[in-house]
Amino acid sequence: MNLIEESFQTKEEKNKKTAIRIVLAAIILVVVIIIGIVSYMAYIKGQELKVSLDGNANNDVKKMLVFENGTVYAPIKKIASYLGYNSYNGEYFEKSESNSKCYVESENEVANFELNSKKIYKLDLNARAENYEYVYSKEAVKAIGGELYASADAIEKAFNVSFQYNEDRNTVQIFTLPYLVNFYNPYVLNWGYVGISEEFANQKAILKNMLVVTNNNKRVGVLDTEGKSILEVKYSNITYLSSVGEGGDFLVEDNGKVGVMSKNRETKIQLIYDSIELLDLDAGLYVAKKDNKYGVLDFRGKVIIYIENDEIGVDISRFKENGIKNKYILAENLIPARKDRKWGLYDTKGNLLVDYQYDSLGYTATSSRNALSLLVIPDYNVIVACKDKKYTLLNSIGEELFSGPVADDIYMTIDGGEKHYYIRANDQEMDAEEYLNQIDVNPRAYEQNSTTRPQTNQQQTEENDNEQNNDEQNSGEEQNNNEQNNNEQNGEEQNNDGENQGNQDFQEVNDQEQGQE
């Protein structure tokens, strides 16, 4: 091989090595690009919203969610079927096709929503009482694209689900109550108990990481979801009060007596009563029964209305068309109480506003004309009361709007879906709302579905120490006795000329209205 051939061969080998390097570099570049693309796609996929329902991915629910400033909203009626509920327009207790209201219904419970409201009314279909309870959401119901949407916490409270949004991970996890019951039941069995309580109210405790359980001796107690004791398994019955207290309290029963305990084992109300029922959440009150008499307690057990009444609250089943949600509080302030066959009225602070003088509350329609029974004229916060077979109207502080019971009938009609209220006296009839406007009783300014939760009696009570509470209670006894004595002294004077003056007042307003016509 000569020098020229050696030089050519060396050059050829160099070219091959260069080509190999170029190919390797290209391959490496392609691999890097592929890795980059895969990584980018993985990153994008990781940033994509993931929604699961009862542990399974659910793209249908994912598509319906709306995010605004870190808050998740869901269309109430669309998501209902995925959570085990049926949905309808209007209200459960007053059927309509209103698009500004809707309700959802399961076999156990109904929840009512209203546009621009944070207040959600709920009715336990398993309970004997017809009283509605309510909860508050952080955000009001809003309309998006012509549909009603509720925030995640409203969905949680209305549908009894766990709805968790992790903004960092961009995940939404929803667990329904039946799924959680089935999930925790095996753990409860392994801990040596018969199972989780089958009562719907008690199963809601799971949403607050608590389990109401029973043992082989049919005793009931409360555990946390790790199996640690909250209330010992020794009571004959326990009912979870989901809307009361911080995270709910427990109505505890043993030896035929009931009381209230917190999840911190604090006895809020001693086990000395025959029954306790929630009167109103915002007022922070219970109705208590003892020795066949009724009274009112606050959430700490302080007596607000003495347990000496034959009845607290009105039978609202007689006034179904009136749309009354709470039989214990009328006109948003009045607590009806019956004693010795007479009705009186207290306010939510326990002050006796109207002495026990009325024969009945409400008007019961018995005639053949198109009249319906009436207890409350809601937009004016006035109630109907009867004495000596004559009727009157009382405002929300118990004042009579006639000078005495003078009307023969005060009733309601429904025409074309609209409610109308009428007063009949002295063979004359007039529109009750026109009458109320004439005497300057203005429609209430208070929003029925309040968006601001007021301070409860419980919260006010907790600001005072026990000594101050005792002083207030003693003072309250004297005040109620004085009010009752004053009312009795004044009652005879008012009764003497009340009916005549009432007829005169009604006649004057009626004449004025006819003159305007």
What's residue 1's pLDDT?
53
| Residue 105: exposure state from Cβ atoms within 10 A (0-12, 13-18, ≥19) | middle
Nearest to 387 by CA among 428, 342, 330: 342
Helix ranges, 325-431 (H): none
Q: Do residues 372 and 390 share a domain?
A: yes
Q: Do residues 322 and 260 share a domain?
A: no
Q: Do residues 356 and 436 share a domain?
A: yes
What's residue 516's pLDDT?
46
For residue 313, pLDDT over 50 is answered with: yes
Q: Do residues 245 and 302 share a domain?
A: yes
Q: Do residues 332 and 418 share a domain?
A: yes
Least confident stretch, 18-22, 204-208, 348-352, 366-370: 366-370
In a domain, 248, yes or no: yes
What's the token pair of residue 492?
Answer: 């005879």
User: How confident is the prediction for the chain on average, in pLDDT?
Assistant: 85
Residue linked to tokens 């929803």: 174
Confidence of residue 510 (pLDDT cuts 50, 70, 90): low
Angle at CA of residue 444, ends 437 and 432, nearest 5°: 35
For residue 349, pLDDT over 70 is answered with: yes
Q: Do residues 436 and 493 share a domain?
A: yes
Confidence of residue 511 (pLDDT cuts 50, 70, 90): low
Domain boundary among 175, 203, 232: 175
For residue 515, pLDDT over 80 is answered with: no
In a domain, 32, yes or no: no
pLDDT in tens, 32-89: 888 777 766 655 555 689 999 999 999 999 999 999 988 999 999 999 999 999 999 9
Domain boundary among 248, 275, 309: 309
Q: Do residues 105 and 128 share a domain?
A: yes
* Count of Cβ atoms closer than 10 Å to residue 502 Cβ: 21
- As a whole number, mean pLDDT of residues 116-138 equals 90
Least confident stretch, 111-125, 214-228, 470-484: 470-484
Q: Do residues 359 and 369 share a domain?
A: yes
Give the C-alpha separation, 302 to 465, whole Å: 12
Helix ranges, 57-119 (H): 59-64, 76-80
Q: Do residues 232 and 214 share a domain?
A: yes
Q: Do residues 230 and 378 share a domain?
A: no
pLDDT in tens, 241-258: 999 978 899 999 999 999
Give the C-alpha separation, 299 to 277, whole Å: 11
Answer for the pair 314, 362: CB distance below 8 angstroms, yes or no. Answer: yes
- As a whole number, mean pLDDT of residues 291-301 equals 97
Answer for the pair 238, 223: CB distance below 8 angstroms, yes or no. Answer: no
Which range marks the domain in which residue 73 is found?
Answer: 51-175
The DSSP bridge partners found for residue 277 are 287
DSSP state letter for 200: H
Nearest to 325 by CA among 111, 139, 99: 111
Give the C-alpha separation, 439 to 253, whole Å: 50
* Count of Cβ atoms closer than 10 Å to residue 110 Cβ: 21
Confidence of residue 404 (pLDDT cuts 50, 70, 90): confident
- As a whole number, mean pLDDT of residues 159-165 equals 96
What CATH number is associated with residue 202? 2.40.128
For residue 271, pLDDT over 90 is answered with: yes
pLDDT in tens, 444-458: 644 443 444 455 554
In a domain, 12, yes or no: no
In a domain, 11, yes or no: no
User: How many whole angstroms from its chain centre is CA 375?
Assistant: 22
What's residue 472's pLDDT?
41
What's the token pair of residue 443?
Answer: 């429609």
Q: How many domains does the chain have?
A: 3
- As a whole number, mean pLDDT of residues 103-116 equals 96
Q: Do residues 404 and 507 share a domain?
A: yes
In a domain, 95, yes or no: yes
Confidence of residue 11 (pLDDT cuts 50, 70, 90): low
Residues in CB range of 514: below 8 A, 6 or more apart = none
In a domain, 46, yes or no: no
- As a whole number, mean pLDDT of residues 391-411 equals 92
For residue 461, pLDDT over 50 is answered with: no
Q: Do residues 333 and 437 share a domain?
A: yes
Domain boundary among 288, 309, 330: 309
What's residue 47's pLDDT?
63
Q: Is 192 helix (H, G, I), strand (E, B) or coil?
A: coil
The most confident of 230-239, 364-373, 464-473, by mean pLDDT:
230-239
In a domain, 464, yes or no: no
In this prediction, what percent of the chain has a pLDDT beyond 90?
Answer: 66
What's the token pair of residue 114?
Answer: 């209203």
Residues in CB range of 223: below 8 A, 6 or more apart = 188, 191, 210, 211, 213, 229, 230
pLDDT in tens, 79-95: 999 999 999 999 998 88
For residue 494, pLDDT over 70 is answered with: no
Half-sphere exposure of 31 (CA within 13 A, CB side): 6
| CA-to-CA separations, 320 to 326, 366, 372, 375, 396, in angstroms, rounded | 12, 15, 9, 10, 21
What CATH number is associated with residue 142? 3.30.457.10
What's residue 496's pLDDT?
43
For residue 489, pLDDT over 80 is answered with: no
Confidence of residue 487 (pLDDT cuts 50, 70, 90): very low
In a domain, 463, yes or no: no
Q: Is the pTM of this model over 0.85?
A: no
